[in-house]
């Protein structure tokens, strides 16, 4: 296909596709799917070889959130029945992180529910980062604490935080349908604060909330402009007890096309296969490794993921290798820019880390975006398991 040849050439040059080209990727047929994966895979291998970076989530504070994000099991008014607990002690968080590192994780993502941290919360997280780094000095630590206030990004960076995650989630035009308790601009501001403080910015999206192809392209182009170093691609986990519990708009094929589009728009960025991959990609997860160069190991914030051993076996069987601690994830030009103290990289290029709206769009828009998965319009408790192990419990973690 001329389209795919053009996109590969642009990706190898780090050149931004047009919006029309990005939309065309999402509009390709299932008959063309393997060609799309192969083309995006060339771009992935150019910048990241066959390496897969492992990341591990530690939920420092679960539930009890005052925000009303429609996709989230920790939202105000959620009846999902998730684990609810207040802040883990630094030694508890360090122990949880150690399990992920032992499983091969190179980055630990420290996540806390809530609108944003108080200064006292930042003190808590500072002690937690210090405890983790004391035990595993080479591990990367990413904080995900919500909206940041003035000076907090600098304090986290001084404490040893390597990165900060705050996702845009969906397009600016549809963001008001996801939540009313903060704005899209608030999220952009927090990512920019993290970049200004010298942290590596991590910001991504959630697909499957009923958005159109245009919405998906809008948010990915906004991410390219914002220029984070890593872009988590979450697929909505439709938790029972949340407003989006019946939004089953994804098929494995559509999920792969979305990942391919993100790779073409953000060719030299760490694209992370994040929350919901097991739910929506299912047996086609190995194909996604040809598009994403990073995944979460084990469980998510409030839902159970694939067994850690199965993750490692999948990577090996698909012909990829786990990225070692002595390897720099980002291509040299991006790593050099970050080392120079700039969290962004000017000139373009692209969670919370974890579980993943606009109001459901009309049925015609969903049809244009792709055929809904079997079970659309129903609550599917068979595919979503609430986390009952690891942090906040007495049971060993999945790592």
**Residue 142 catalytic?**
yes
Scored b (16 or more CB within 10 A) or e, 170-180 reads bbbebbebbbe
Closest by CA to 44, choosing from 316, 260, 335, 323, is 260
**Residue 202 catalytic?**
yes
pLDDT score for 379: 60
CATH architecture of 2-7+32-369: Alpha-Beta Barrel (3.20)
**Residue 65 catalytic?**
yes
pLDDT score for 378: 66
pLDDT score for 338: 86
Among 14, 65, 157, 257, the active-site one is: 65
Among 75, 142, 144, 257, the active-site one is: 142
Tens of pLDDT along the chain (399 residues)? 799 999 999 999 999 999 999 999 999 999 999 999 999 999 999 999 999 999 999 999 987 788 888 877 777 677 777 778 889 999 999 999 999 999 999 999 999 988 899 999 999 999 999 999 999 889 999 999 999 999 999 999 999 999 999 999 999 999 999 888 989 999 999 999 999 999 999 999 999 999 999 999 999 999 999 999 999 999 998 888 888 888 899 999 999 999 999 999 999 999 999 999 999 999 999 999 999 999 999 888 777 789 999 999 999 999 999 999 899 999 999 998 888 754 444 433 334 433 543 333 333 333 333 334 445 566 665 677 788 788 888 888 888
Q: Where are the domains of the chain?
A: 2-7+32-369
CB-count exposure of residue 237 (10 Å: 0-12, 13-18, 19+)? buried
Among 14, 69, 157, 334, the active-site one is: 69
Q: Coil, helix or strand for 323?
A: coil
Q: Model-level pTM?
A: 0.89
**Start-to-end Cα distance in the chain:** 41
Among 107, 124, 202, 266, the active-site one is: 202
CA dihedral 255, 360, 352, 323 (to 10 degrees): 0
């Amino acid at each position: 296909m001329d389209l795919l040849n053009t996109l590969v050439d642009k990706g190898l040059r780090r050149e931004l596709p047009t919006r029309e080209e990005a939309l065309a990727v999402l509009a390709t047929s299932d008959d063309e799917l393997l060609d799309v994966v192969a083309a995006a895979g060339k771009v992935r291998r150019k910048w990241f070889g066959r390496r897969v970076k492992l990341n591990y989530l530690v939920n420092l504070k679960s539930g009890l959130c005052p925000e009303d994000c429609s996709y989230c099991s920790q939202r105000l008014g959620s009846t999902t029945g998730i684990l609810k607990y207040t802040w883990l002690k630094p030694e508890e968080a360090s122990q949880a992180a150690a399990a992920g590192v032992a499983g091969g994780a190179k980055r630990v993502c420290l996540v806390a529910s809530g609108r944003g941290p108080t200064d006292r919360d930042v003190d808590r997280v500072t002690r937690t980062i210090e405890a983790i780094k004391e035990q595993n000095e080479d591990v990367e630590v990413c904080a995900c604490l919500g909206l940041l206030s003035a000076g907090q990004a600098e304090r986290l960076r001084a404490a040893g935080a390597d990165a900060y995650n705050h996702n845009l989630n969906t397009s600016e035009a549809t963001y008001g349908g996801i939540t009313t308790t903060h704005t899209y601009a608030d999220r952009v501001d927090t990512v920019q604060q993290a970049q200004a403080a010298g942290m590596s910015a991590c910001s991504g999206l959630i697909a499957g909330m009923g958005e159109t192809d245009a919405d998906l392209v809008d948010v990915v182009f906004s991410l390219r402009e914002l220029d984070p170093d890593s872009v988590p691609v979450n697929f909505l986990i439709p938790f029972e007890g949340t407003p989006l519990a019946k939004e089953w708009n994804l098929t494995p094929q559509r999920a792969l096309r979305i990942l391919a589009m993100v790779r073409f728009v953000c060719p030299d960025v760490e694209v992370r296969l994040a929350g919901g991959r097991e739910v929506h990609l299912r047996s086609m997860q190995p194909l996604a490794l040809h598009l994403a160069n990073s995944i979460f190991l084990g469980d998510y914030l409030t839902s159970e993921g694939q067994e850690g051993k199965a993750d490692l076996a999948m990577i090996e069987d698909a012909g990829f290798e786990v990225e070692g601690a002595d390897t720099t994830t980002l291509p040299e030009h991006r790593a050099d820019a970050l080392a120079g103290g700039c969290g962004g990289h000017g000139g373009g290029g692209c969670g919370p880390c974890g579980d993943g709206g606009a109001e459901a769009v009309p049925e015609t828009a969903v049809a244009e975006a792709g055929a809904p998965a079997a079970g659309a319009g129903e609550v599917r408790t068979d595919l979503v398991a609430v986390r009952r192990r690891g942090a906040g419990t007495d049971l060993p973690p999945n790592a």
